[in-house]
Amino acid sequence: MTSLTELGAALRSADRAQVEAILAVATPQELEAIEAALAGSSGESQQQRAEEVLAAWHREALPYQLPPCTRCKSHERWRTKGPCKCKKPDRSWHVWALVAGRGTGKTLAGAHWALEQALAKPGLVGAVVAPTHNDLRRITVEGPSGLVSVLPPDLIVPTPAGRAWNEAASAVNLVNGSVIHTLSAEHPDRIRGENLAWAWLDEMAAWSRLDYAWEQLEFATRIGTPQTLITTTPRPLALLRELMADLGTAVTRASLTDNPHLSETTRARLLKRYAGTRVGRQELEGEVLDETEGALVTLSLIDAGRMAAPKRLDRIVVGVDPSGGRAEIGIVAVGRQDEDLWILEDASLRGSPSNWGAVVVDTLAKHKGDRIAAERNYGGDMVEHVLRTTPGGAHIAMSFPTATRGKLLRAEFLQGMYEQGRVHHVDVMPELEDQLTTYTGITNEASPDRLDALVWACHELMMGNRGPSREDMLTSPVSMTRAAPSRIT
Ligand SMILES: Nc1ncnc2c1ncn2[C@@H]1O[C@H](COP(=O)(O)OP(=O)(O)OP(=O)(O)O)[C@@H](O)[C@H]1O
Ligand SMILES: [Mg+2]
């Protein structure tokens, strides 16, 4: 057989093809010998290698990306204090909440922390949890700042296809016997039964079934003195507030401008989009906003109804609120099945008429929609003209309701549907949800564009072209029989 030295060289050079070729021809006895040799002789060098990797991260990490020390509280005051220099950092926290703006390096920090946990002791089982399976693939596990990006190839056990992530088994296996499970928060039931020593929860505020998933994680994280890292851009969620206020939680905050490594283009794009807005305080600064009293709907109501859309929807409408001038154009796609509505996409944007016209037509095509419901602008047919002259727009079915004082009534009609649990967001749509949770409808408060677009689409779907009477709007949500949709887990 090939010598162990040769195998060792192949492992060190991370030449997977060669390692596989060697293992493919090895007899069972030889495999046993290899296993024994790897377990015995390389334990020390693995440990050394792990320490090198982590030391490199500690040199590169920004102060707020390092695990908190509750002795010096550097994680809270790192801007003035810099990283922790304690001889014996106190890491006795139960939860580390890295609640920060977009692009602050949350995912990279989480990936390194996860690696640190997996390398700390051989044979430990931990988990990374992302909002969806797609997020695991694109961001948390295989993304540019994800787990695989920080894992040195010589410390992992690759799959037969040479991948670091065994997607089918939802795991990344390390050569020291530690296992990192990769879980999607869409399926909290799969967390049940796990026995974890640590967990890293990425973008927890965007989890569609947050309370249930958190409950399952609390039961599952139970080996030794378990620790949990939450890396997230915040949203006004009761659970997040509760966790951040808990004495066992170490909280670290950071804003987009704190990360010097973020590309200038990304920084400029995000600042242009959000600066000076309420959403910006949340998305850029990482501020946990308060819920507005008397708002149309609460975030908990939205969260409770969140679920994926059924494969077939009866009708799909794109609602448009074409505010004049340089303001944002609200564009929201909504589908109906039986007596429930699914908010499919918020494609709102700022742009010239040809820009937004194209986005409306594209959004309708993307969702295979039936109709556009666009608010008629005061004193003219500009909106219809824009949509009809947009390529592909000439033959689309369109309605042009007129904004009147009935607008608030229509919004209230939608509020009734939310309260009955009949409105479902298929994803987190921060700006639309921000408008829904801050608009109170008090006199003279202009209703915001995304919300209006949503109202037009929902209204068209529930009322058709009838032009509802006051009775319709006030009574329909209650009188309609409700077919309870099954939750998609
Ligand atoms: N300590 C660091 N050293 C070098 N580059 C870093 C560091 N921290 C973050 N970066 C870079 O900053 C960018 C953003 O990092 P990352 O994706 O981890 O941020 P994020 O806060 O998770 O972003 P998002 O809000 O989009 O999820 C990446 O290009 C990453 O490589
Ligand atoms: Mg991230």
Q: Is the alpha carbon torsion for 342, 414, 361, 467 positive or negative?
A: positive
- Give the up-direction half-sphere exposure of residue 212: CA atoms within 13 A in the CB hemisphere: 15
Is pLDDT above 80 for 268? yes
User: Residue 90 and residue 61: Cα distance in Å, rounded?
Assistant: 19
Establish whether residue 60 lines the binding site of ligand 1, counting it when its CB lies within 6 angstroms of any ligand atom.
yes
Please name the residue whose Cα sits nearest to atom 15 of ligand 1: 105
Burial class (CB in 10 A: 0-12, 13-18, 19+), 421: middle
Sequence-separated contacts (24+) of 272-275 with Cβ below 8 Å? none
User: Residue 345 and residue 320: Cα distance in Å, rounded?
Assistant: 12
Ligand 1 site-directed mutation target among 99, 261, 271, 274, most atoms within 8 Å of CB: 261
485 pLDDT tier (thresholds 50, 70, 90): very low
User: Residue 132 and residue 138: Cα distance in Å, rounded?
Assistant: 10
Q: Is the alpha carbon torsion for 8, 12, 13, 17 positive or negative?
A: positive
How far, CA to CA in Å, does 472 sit from each of 219, 398, 401, 483?
47, 22, 16, 20
Establish whether residue 450 lines the binding site of ligand 1, counting it when its CB lies within 6 angstroms of any ligand atom.
no
State residue 380's pLDDT score: 63
State residue 6's pLDDT score: 62
Domain ranges of the chain: 1-41, 45-274, 299-479
Is pLDDT above 80 for 18? no
Is pLDDT above 90 for 417? yes
Ligand 1 site-directed mutation target among 65, 108, 135, most atoms within 8 Å of CB: 108
Establish whether residue 201 lines the binding site of ligand 1, counting it when its CB lies within 6 angstroms of any ligand atom.
no
Is pLDDT above 60 for 115? yes
* Alpha carbon of residue 447 to chain centroid: 27
Start-to-end C-alpha separation, the chain: 49
User: Residue 404 and residue 473: Cα distance in Å, rounded?
Assistant: 14
Establish whether residue 157 lines the binding site of ligand 1, counting it when its CB lies within 6 angstroms of any ligand atom.
no
Is pLDDT above 80 for 420? yes
Is pLDDT above 70 for 444? no
Q: Could you please state the CATH topology (level 3) that the domain comprising 299-479 is classified under.
A: Nucleotidyltransferase; domain 5 (3.30.420)
Whose tokens are 């009708």? That residue is 315
Considering only residues 42 and 304, tell me which one the structure prediction assigns the higher pLDDT: 304
State residue 429's pLDDT score: 87
Condensed to tens digits (0 to 9), the pLDDT of residues 134-188 reads 999 999 999 999 999 999 988 999 999 999 999 999 999 999 999 999 999 999 9
Considering only residues 72 and 447, tell me which one the structure prediction assigns the higher pLDDT: 72
Task: Name the least confident of 4-13, 237-246, 426-435.
Answer: 4-13
In CATH terms, the superfamily for domain 45-274 is P-loop containing nucleotide triphosphate hydrolases (3.40.50.300)
- SS3 (DSSP) at 217: helix
Please name the residue whose Cα sits nearest to atom 1 of ligand 1: 61
User: Residue 414 and residue 476: Cα distance in Å, rounded?
Assistant: 10
Task: Identify the CA nearest to 82 among candidates 103, 65, 99.
Answer: 65
* Run of H or E residues at 201: strand 198-202
| DSSP of 127-168 | EEEESSHHHIIIIITTSTTSHHHHS-GGGB---TTS-SSBTT
* Run of H or E residues at 256: none
> 200 pairs with which residues across the strands?
128, 229
* Section 333-348 average pLDDT: 96
User: Residue 390 and residue 396: Cα distance in Å, rounded?
Assistant: 11
State residue 25's pLDDT score: 76
Is pLDDT above 60 for 40? no
The distance between the two most distant Cα atoms of the chain, rounded to a whole number of Å, is 86
CB atoms within 10 A of CB 398: 19
Q: What is the 8-class DSSP label of residue 376?
A: B
* Section 398-418 average pLDDT: 80
- SS3 (DSSP) at 78: helix
CATH fold match for the domains 45-274 and 299-479: no
% pLDDT > 90, the chain = 55
Is pLDDT above 80 for 470? no
Tell me if 354 sits within 8 A of 360, measured CB to CB: no
- Which backbone phi and psi does 380 adopt, to 5 degrees? 170, 175
Tell me if 151 sits within 8 A of 204, measured CB to CB: no
238 pLDDT tier (thresholds 50, 70, 90): confident
User: Residue 438 and residue 291: Cα distance in Å, rounded?
Assistant: 7
* Section 76-81 average pLDDT: 82
Residues in the chain: 489
Tell me if 415 sits within 8 A of 297, measured CB to CB: yes
C-alpha of residue 75 to centroid of ligand 1, in Å: 17
Is pLDDT above 70 for 33? no
Considering only residues 393 and 471, tell me which one the structure prediction assigns the higher pLDDT: 393
443 pLDDT tier (thresholds 50, 70, 90): low
State residue 198's pLDDT score: 97
Is pLDDT above 90 for 332? yes
Task: Identify the CA nearest to 208 among candidates 229, 180, 235.
Answer: 235
Considering only residues 66 and 408, tell me which one the structure prediction assigns the higher pLDDT: 66
